[in-house]
């Protein structure tokens, strides 16, 4: 069934409010990854508030859909999604990276509900997603698995071993997405170690591949719907995105890969995002 204009508008507003929370929490702790959290916000908003099945009151529900944040440095994005989804109180976002907080610099599944696996060591998340998807197959369970990768992460050899494995086992309950924002900590991905042509490579590995605008909610939701109809092979959605999306302060600027906004930068960004409230 086609997504309504009202649904798309609600998802776009959800992504806007998530970006506000991400920026406030990052500015509050003064440490973390701004660019890659903002570039994938629309994708994660669509996953958590349109496509995925889960119960925040029963995080270990066996038939849940699973989300693996392979690019674990975008933890502020995941924490924000989990808070908005009701896995923990919204105010806990303000404790990001503080001593004793459950919201560590990278996701830790030991302490926080809704996190499937501790991530941050790049290249490993797709392998974990394969295992979860295969387990669902063996159990004949309905759960689907979604894994979000970074484009720079595709430089890791383990990703391609996992790509081969997923196709071999015909994991059609697995949908991976690449946040293809073109920048990594050392500069443009193309200069550090080129990974293009991404779509052709995944097709060559036996995946169904969709190439979309990762900030267009209609395209994101349509691709997620199409992925659910694919049979006999896994799906890759290549999402063309902008690092730091949401504010002119951060967009396309590699220096915000691993730095946080100053007070002045935050003020500009919040005005551009029509700020409401959360962490002051």
pLDDT per position as a tens digit, 158-198:
999 999 999 999 999 999 999 999 999 999 999 999 999 99
Give this prediction's pTM.
0.95
CATH of the domain at 55: 3.40.50.970
* 141 falls within a domain: yes
Tens of pLDDT, residues 244-278: 999 999 999 999 899 999 999 999 999 999 975 54
> In this structure, is residue 277 part of a structural domain?
no
Q: Is residue 239 part of a domain?
A: yes
pLDDT value of residue 171:
99
- Give 76's pLDDT tier (boundaries 50, 70, 90): very high
Confidence of residue 25 (pLDDT cuts 50, 70, 90): very high
pLDDT at 235 over 80: yes
Query: Has residue 87 been placed in a domain?
Result: yes
What was the pLDDT predicted at 152? Answer: 97
Answer whether residue 278 is part of any domain.
no
- Band the pLDDT of 105: cuts 50, 70, 90: confident
In a domain, 279, yes or no: no
Number of structural domains in the chain: 1
Which residue range forms the structural domain that includes residue 185?
5-272
- pLDDT score recorded for residue 92: 95
Handedness of CA 108, 154, 239, 144 (dihedral sign): negative
């Amino acid at each position: 069934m086609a997504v309504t204009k009202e649904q798309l508008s609600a998802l776009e507003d959800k992504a806007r409010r998530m970006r506000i929370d991400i920026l406030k929490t990052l500015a509050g702790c003064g440490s973390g990854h701004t660019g890659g959290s903002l570039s994938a916000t629309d994708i994660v908003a669509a996953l958590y508030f349109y496509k995925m099945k889960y119960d925040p009151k029963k995080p270990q529900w066996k038939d849940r859909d699973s989300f693996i944040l392979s690019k674990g440095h975008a933890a502020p994005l995941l924490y924000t999604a989990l808070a908005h989804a009701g896995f923990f109180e919204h105010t806990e976002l303000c404790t990001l990276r503080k001593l004793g907080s459950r919201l560590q610099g990278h996701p830790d599944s030991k302490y926080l509900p809704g996190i499937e696996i501790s991530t941050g060591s790049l290249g490993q998340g797709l392998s974990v997603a394969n295992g979860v998807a295969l387990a669902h197959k063996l159990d004949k369970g309905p759960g689907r698995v979604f894994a979000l990768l970074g484009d720079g992460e595709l430089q890791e050899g383990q990703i391609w071993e996992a790509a081969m494995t997923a196709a071999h086992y015909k994991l059609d309950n697995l949908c991976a997405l690449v946040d293809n924002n073109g920048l990594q900590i050392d500069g443009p991905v193309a200069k550090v170690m080129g990974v293009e042509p991404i779509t052709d490579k995944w097709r060559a590995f036996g995946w169904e591949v969709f190439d979309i605008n990762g900030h267009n909610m209609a395209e994101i939701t349509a691709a997620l719907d199409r992925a659910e109809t694919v049979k006999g092979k896994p799906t890759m959605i290549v999402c063309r995105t902008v690092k730091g999306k949401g504010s002119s302060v951060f967009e396309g600027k590699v220096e915000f890969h691993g730095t946080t906004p100053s007070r002045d930068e935050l003020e500009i960004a919040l005005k551009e995002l029509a700020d409401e409230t959360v962490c002051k």
